[in-house]
Each structure stands twice: as structure tokens, then as C-alpha cells.
């Protein structure tokens, strides 16, 4: 099985860096090899790109019972569930499902069984009623 951790590639002729991630739908087999950082209790983050004010992408790993508190989307958010499942007030999403949250939408997220998701944010989210750093 080919398992590749994120790698940076610099195309010939210059230009920006290209980040490649292989076997994402098999991440349950190799996620332990990534350098995860604490994000919330029972939720860890592996940042792929981005800064405090612009677009960003990250992998989020929820342990069973992991929760992200109520937040509002200030730009589009794309969530691709790679392994496991998570839920909010609209229902349960599982591996292979894509959710696109539009600007102005709000939700909190819970993963009862644990999951790994790819999160791509156009702009930072704004947490509601809790003191949480910008993601």
C-alpha cells in the first residue's frame, strides 16, 4: 500500500509550493504518523496552509466524543469526512460525505465515534459564547 504523508513539491520553472497528500480515504490506516496539535478537548488539528485572516485548510481529528462549540461561518467552509462520522443539528455525515456551510450559517459539531475530516475555510469562523482562538 502506498501511503504518503503530506509532501511539498516545487514545480519546475518556479511558482508556488504544491502540497500533495496521498491515500486520504485510507487515512484511518496512517493518521497516527501526522504531527497533530491540540485544538479543543478531544479534537486535534494538522494545518495544511493558511494564516489568521485568509483562506486555510486543515485536517481535524476527533476522538470519540470530540466537540467543536457553536460557531458562525464568516465565509464558505467545506468539510469532507475522510473517516468516521460527525453530526450537527442538520444530521450525521459519514466518510465520503461533503458538507458546504455558507457564510452566516452556525452550528456546533460532535463526533460520537471519532472521525477525521478535511476542512477548507474561506475565512475564519467566529465562535459564539466561548473564548476560543480563531481557526
In the chain the first and final C-alpha atoms are separated, in Å, by 33
**How do the domains of the chain map onto residue ranges?**
36-127
pLDDT, tens digit (0-9, with 9 covering 90-100), for 68-93: 999 999 999 999 999 999 999 999 99
Flag whether pLDDT at 23 surpasses 90.
Answer: no
Average pLDDT over residues 33-51: 92
Label residue 1 by pLDDT band (50, 70, 90): very low
Cell of 119: 476542512
pTM: 0.85
Flag whether pLDDT at 24 surpasses 60.
Answer: yes
The CATH number of domain 36-127 is 3.40.50.300:
no
Q: How far apart are CA 31 and CA 91, in angstroms?
A: 25
Q: How far apart are CA 126 and CA 37, in angstroms?
A: 20
Amino acid at each position: 500500500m502506498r501511503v504518503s504523508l503530506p509532501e511539498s513539491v516545487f514545480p519546475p520553472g518556479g511558482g508556488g509550493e504544491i502540497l500533495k497528500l496521498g491515500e486520504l480515504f485510507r487515512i484511518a490506516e496512517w493518521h497516527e504518523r501526522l504531527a497533530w496539535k491540540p485544538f479543543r478537548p478531544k479534537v486535534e488539528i494538522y494545518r495544511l496552509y493558511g494564516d489568521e485572516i485568509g483562506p486555510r485548510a486543515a485536517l481535524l481529528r476527533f476522538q470519540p466524543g470530540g466537540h467543536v462549540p457553536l460557531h458562525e461561518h464568516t465565509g464558505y467552509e467545506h468539510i469532507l469526512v475522510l473517516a468516521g462520522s460527525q453530526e450537527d443539528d442538520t444530521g450525521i455525515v459519514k466518510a465520503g460525505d461533503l458538507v458546504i456551510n455558507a457564510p452566516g450559517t452556525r452550528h456546533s459539531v460532535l463526533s460520537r465515534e471519532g472521525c477525521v475530516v478535511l476542512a477548507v475555510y474561506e475565512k475564519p469562523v467566529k465562535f459564539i459564547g466561548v473564548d476560543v482562538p480563531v481557526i
